[in-house]
Amino acid sequence: MTDPADFVQDTAYSRHFRSYQAILKRLLSEDPGRGYFDLPTDALVVDAGCGYGEYMRLLAARGHTHLVGIEPDPLCREVARAAGMDVREGTLLATGLPDGFADTVVVNEVFHHIADYSEAVEELYRILKPGGFLCFSEPRNTPLRRAMDFLTFEVPLRKLIPAVEMRYQVMVLEIETGLYRKFLREQDAFYAAVERRFERQWLRRGYFFQFGKYRRRATPT
């Protein structure tokens, strides 16, 4: 079993993730961040855990010119770099970026891949400029999500429906390590970790996901 402290997605995740993202976009009407958090197009944005760089592409299409991705998965990095994106090896806990590097850090469904939210928040606080923004989208613990998880992981429905099998393959490592379910249980602990270093601008909660925009505090609370 993978050690949660060293969690990196496996090759099955890399193969299935793009198709899974496309399904989510068709099924869900939520635009992550409602226009990607209304960020200035000249801001230096770091996408921490950028995968294949899909969100970096969308940000670029919206006029953003200063984008850096951080990604631990070598296949994802290779694909993103081949498309001309600046994607560097690193994790949410160790980005490898200098202090005060970014105007904004976007974290799209990565906090639930790690065990220590406070450690990740400290790293993101470090690489942000004073007054910089942390923006995230993450799973939300709702009855609809719990029902979908039951159908995906507890019954053989995935053997009959390809989309459910794809979701299973993308998330199986998170389930085996317990990280995904830990995140759903510990929503309050996650918010507390973020709000020690960041001031909430807004937090929007949907049926499956939640989106937050937070400003870096001058001093922690």
* Contact assessment for residue 119 and residue 110, using Cβ atoms and an 8 Å cutoff: no
| Closest residue by Cα to residue 48 from 105, 116, 115, 3 | 105
Domains of the chain, earliest start first: 7-25+43-216 (3.40.50.150)
| Closest residue by Cα to residue 7 from 116, 102, 83 | 116
Distance between CA atoms of residues 92 and 122, nearest Å:
10
- For the chain, 221 residues long, give each residue's pLDDT as a single digit of tens: 334 334 444 445 555 555 555 555 544 444 444 455 889 999 999 999 998 998 899 899 889 999 999 999 898 899 999 999 999 999 999 999 999 999 999 999 999 989 999 999 999 999 999 999 999 999 999 999 999 899 888 887 888 888 788 778 778 777 888 999 999 999 999 999 999 999 999 999 988 889 999 999 998 77
| Closest residue by Cα to residue 171 from 44, 29, 10 | 10
* Contact assessment for residue 102 and residue 132, using Cβ atoms and an 8 Å cutoff: yes
Distance between CA atoms of residues 24 and 118, nearest Å:
29
Beta strands in the chain (DSSP E): 44-48, 66-70, 87-88, 102-108, 128-139, 198-205, 209-216
**Size (the chain), residues:** 221
Q: How many CB atoms lie within 10 A of CB 141?
A: 14
Q: What is the pTM of this model?
A: 0.84
Distance between CA atoms of residues 126 and 120, nearest Å:
10
